[in-house]
Amino acid sequence: MFHGYHTKLKEWGHHFLFALRVGGASRASDLEGADDGVTDGRSCTLGRKNRNLLPELPDPFTCEWEHCEMTFENAEWFYRHVDNHAQDRDKRSSSDDMTCGWKGCEAAFQSRSKLCEHLHRHTGEKTAACSTCGAMFSNSTKLKDHLRRQTTSKHMLKCCICFKLFPSERILKDHLRHHINHHKCPSCGMTCATPSALKNHIKYRHSSDQPFICVLCGHGCKSTNDLERHLQTHSARPPYQCNAASCSYTARSMETVRNHQRKAHQGNCGPRFKCHLCEKIYSRGNVLTFHLMKKHQLQWPAGHHRFRYQADQDGFFRLYLVRYESVELTTQLIEEEDRNLRGREELSCSSSVILQPNMSPDEVGKS
């Protein structure tokens, strides 16, 4: 049922980008203002292979607005239902902000339009999609950024953390937010940048549910994307192929194809993973991981099941050493550590009293 809504978003995205290229379309101009020409003559280069794949969706869609627990099978009906809650929201006075009524949310806004936009974060509603690759976005500006990220120019801006290049300051600032963690896992020390990243962490690290079952072999998967990848193992021919001229190499993952292209067609087959402590170089990340754990006694950071490596400016991959937390999360972590420390001190004092020799039960109680 969501396929119909997805198709509508792709069609709207196609018309919006076409209006930007030809110019003069009032709807596009009203929504976005004058176009800066970045999308002129440009199109998505990601291909159409996955354009009809859908994200993981709730089943059913459940409204968590105060005093409302209605459920919907149709996504568009669900989105319109939640929007009606926002339309019915009244300010108590001209000076009061309009509060969000979603369960556990205390956000407040000065206008109804801001509240409606905020509710998309709770519902996951998207308003535009790329007609080429099918990616969905919360607004048309994000759709334009989707194309900008696939272009290069001499004025590209570099991220100071991961050194990736971006075509505008706004896109760079949006990217930087993904380096800063705002959310902590309640079950371990893992911190994440977004609620969706935290949700995925909990799903894969702390949940045993595997609701998506392969009809061919009964293998259980945690998401539809995992099931799609698993189904490829049953196909006679690997689904991914090298796009170099006269090359027939195929593989069951795009990452394997990229490694092949780098080694066979780009001449980049030397060791690329360098130890930041002793400068030893290895050809694979898992070998460097073994080196770091055995030679330098390093351990995985809290919440992770492996080391992360990032490309440095010299082209080598080194261990990702820094984790950035927001001020609010840092304060929360410090307070939790203080509570744990006080708890350990109290336990130590209690244990020292209990373990003191030659004390009667009455003397222990008085202590």
pLDDT of residue 78: 92
Say if residue 1's pLDDT is above 60: yes
Residue range of the domain that includes 117: 2-35+55-150
In a domain, 345, yes or no: no
| Residue that wins the pLDDT comparison between 57 and 213 | 213
In a domain, 206, yes or no: yes
Q: What is the SS3 assignment for 307?
A: coil
pLDDT tens for 121-137 read 888 889 889 888 888 98
pLDDT of residue 348: 59
Mean pLDDT of 187-194: 86
Same domain, 88 and 222: no
Same domain, 122 and 196: no
pLDDT of residue 275: 92
Mean pLDDT of 210-232: 88
Asked if residues 363 and 356 have their Cβ atoms less than 8 Å apart, the reply is no
Vertex 305 angle, CA 304 and 308, to 5°: 70
> From the CB of residue 152, how many other CB atoms can be counted at a distance below 10 Å?
8
Distance CA(244)–CA(225), nearest Å, equals: 27
Q: Which one-letter amino acid corresponds to residue 96?
A: D
Same domain, 99 and 14: yes
Distance CA(58)–CA(1), nearest Å, equals: 13
Same domain, 202 and 255: no
Same domain, 128 and 259: no
Q: What is the CATH number of the domain that holds 105?
A: 3.30.160.60
Same domain, 289 and 251: no
Same domain, 77 and 145: yes
In a domain, 336, yes or no: no
In a domain, 174, yes or no: no
Same domain, 302 and 253: no
Q: What is the SS3 assignment for 30?
A: helix
Same domain, 146 and 120: yes
In a domain, 367, yes or no: no
| Residue that wins the pLDDT comparison between 38 and 145 | 145
In a domain, 208, yes or no: yes
Find, among 162, 159, 139, the residue nearest to 32 by Cα: 139
Mean pLDDT of 86-114: 77
